[in-house]
A and B are shown apart, each in its own frame.
Chain A
Amino acid sequence: MQLKPKYLSLLILVLLVAAAPLFFPSGFYYRVGALIFINGIAVTGMVILIGYAGQISLGHAGFAGIGAYSCALAPVYLNIPPVAAIAFGAALSAALAWVVGRPILKLHGYYLGVATLGLGILISMVLLNEAQWTGGPDGIAVPDLGLRGLLRDMGLRVGAGELWYWVAALVMILGAWLALNLFDSPTGRALRALHGSEVAARTIGIDVPRHKLHAFVVSAVYASVSGSLLAQMNRLITPDVAGFMHSVQMVTMAVLGGVSSVLGAIFGATILTALPQLLTVFHQYEHMVLGLVMILVMIFLPDGLLPSILKRLKGRNEE
């Protein structure tokens, strides 16, 4: 029986997520795992934007910031229940991406990079400076989602780390499934066509600006949900979530792992999230190692880690 690549990817993902806890030496690793999945969600959005549509964004952390602060502020000021705040943040991010995306996405390459970078910085600046709402640089507490309480009432006692491991895993797999479905859909094909050549795509009747905008909005929603979950898990959020470095992290994770495949990008998220946790011993060298990894992978494995590894394995089989 031959599985479709789409289902094979999902199956691998589910198996890895389910099997990983068997090897956890302590409860701390559930938190690391949850963090990986939360980054994995944002990175899946980057696959749609960068990998499918060929557009770059250096400002997507701004949308993560909107998602995160929606979870902190909407329940307090708008009386929206914490669960609905995630959807509220996603809707807000989508609306902003929709409005800003149209003029910005006319730009290409570095110009698109700087425009999105500006957008992200503006959002993080508002979060940093409007201290009466956002708590400023010290951050703000996030109301409890109530999930653990709900499970306790049902007689299930789950640690916070464990709970978030499974919740984030579920959302990530759902997101990966949607992204994989998109790949072969008419929209996915259109995106890949305009990635190859916008002019060629236009000549066969693809509405290029509309499709770029769709990819931008969808990826913004992914980033927003990722930010929301981060806020809910940590119960505290600081403006760093919307900062330039977080935007860079998202792009780097995706490109490092392999931006043209969902599985590869999540692999990149895994490595770049786990590496600093493992490198705490070498805390002093953390930045140097991270910078070096970014440079070396881009020079020697420009397709990203996972596709390059797979290619090498395939090549060996054929010999």
Chain B
Amino acid sequence: MSDLLQFLLSGLTVGAVYALLALGFTIIFNASGVVNFAQGEFVMLGGMATAFGIAAGLPVPLAALLAILGTAALGVALNALAIAPARGAPVVSLIIITIGAAIFLQGAAGLLFDKQIHRYPGFSGEAALRILGATILPQSLWVIAGATLTFALLWLFFSRTLTGKAVLATANNPLAASLVGINTRAIMALSFGLSAAIGAVAGLLVTPITMTAYNTGVALALSGFAAAMLGGLGSPLGALVGGLLLGVLEALTAGYVSSQYKDAVSFILIILVLTFLPQGLLGRKSTDRV
């Protein structure tokens, strides 16, 4: 029983990170129709920048804030320099552009920071807490709380503010949105900045647990992409469900079956889900117009 609880707790921690990654995918996909394979690099950059800020003697909150702002600026730049100029390109071209961006950012991070593995101490110490026979790091609680807060804030943003509703309108129909006076270009830039910031938050929260290095982005992007697909690409709630489900399933597989094949389960699941529910668990049904 305590085994199961242990696996669930570690699964929820990882799942919270996947959910944030999937949320980042979702926001960019809704705004621009692009699946951004550089999403994992934002997570890596958030962790790396915070690690270097702390190493340079900055207090943790300031280092974290700078990391988030810097990564968000990079997200805006990515849209302006690489995505916006390729408007209307076929899916294959867009995939190559964002993978190119991921490779570029990885190379730049290796050069700008270094190629070592980095971590910093957890925000509330390193002593594990005991719950009903299972243990959990205080940092895991930070990750779960951070993800919850991010999702809550985002929900408020989308449902209570005019700008948030403008984002939803743009996602729904860019042409109609621009006809009612929404600056869709600004919305695109905002979406990329927001998505990059969310990635950075995930990265700086989870780095004390998983550590980070310049080349961790691609694997993270694949897991986040998988989570977003599982929940249904384009749905924020789907991102949450897909992320947590993926995290928990991986942890259960690692615990009960084989830790080597924990990633396999997620991809087997994705192939099955896509085969039988092509729009993901919570995605909208779509029909093609001819």
A-to-B contact residues, CB < 8 Å: 50, 56, 58, 103-104, 106-107, 109-111, 113-115, 117-119, 121-122, 125, 128-129, 197, 199-200, 244-245, 248, 251-252, 255-256, 259, 284-295, 298-299, 302
Other-chain contact of A299, B97, B261, B278 (Cβ < 8 Å): B97
Q: Is there contact, CB below 8 Å, between B233 and A110?
A: yes
Q: Which residue of A lies closest to B105 (CB)?
A: A291
- Complex Cα–Cα for A113 and B267 (A): 12
Tell me, rounded to whole Å, the shortest Cβ–Cβ distance linking B75 to chain A: 15
Tell me, rounded to whole Å, the shortest Cβ–Cβ distance linking B273 to chain A: 10
Other-chain contact of B275, A106, A200, A295, A299 (Cβ < 8 Å): A106
Q: Is there contact, CB below 8 Å, between A294 and B89?
A: no
B106-128 contact mask (Cβ, 8 Å, vs A): 1 or 0: 11101100000000000000000
Residues of B within 8 A of A111 (CB): 229, 233, 274, 278
Tell me, rounded to whole Å, the shortest Cβ–Cβ distance linking A87 to chain B: 28
Q: Is there contact, CB below 8 Å, between B89 and A121?
A: no
B-to-A contact residues, CB < 8 Å: 35, 82, 85-86, 89-97, 99-108, 110-111, 218, 222, 225-226, 229, 233, 260-261, 263-264, 267-268, 270-271, 274-275, 278, 288, 290
Q: Is there contact, CB below 8 Å, between A294 and B270?
A: no
Q: Is there contact, CB below 8 Å, between B218 and A290?
A: no
Q: Which residue of A lies closest to B259 (CB)?
A: A129
Q: Which residue of B lies closest to A118 (CB)?
A: B267
Residues of B within 8 A of A288 (CB): 104, 107-108, 111
Residues of A within 8 A of B35 (CB): 110, 113
Query: Can you report 24 A-B residue pairs in the complex whose CB atoms are below 8 A from each other?
Result: A104-B271, A106-B278, A107-B274, A107-B278, A110-B229, A110-B233, A113-B91, A115-B270, A115-B275, A118-B268, A122-B268, A200-B290, A251-B96, A252-B99, A255-B93, A285-B111, A288-B108, A291-B107, A292-B100, A295-B104, A298-B89, A298-B94, A299-B82, A302-B89
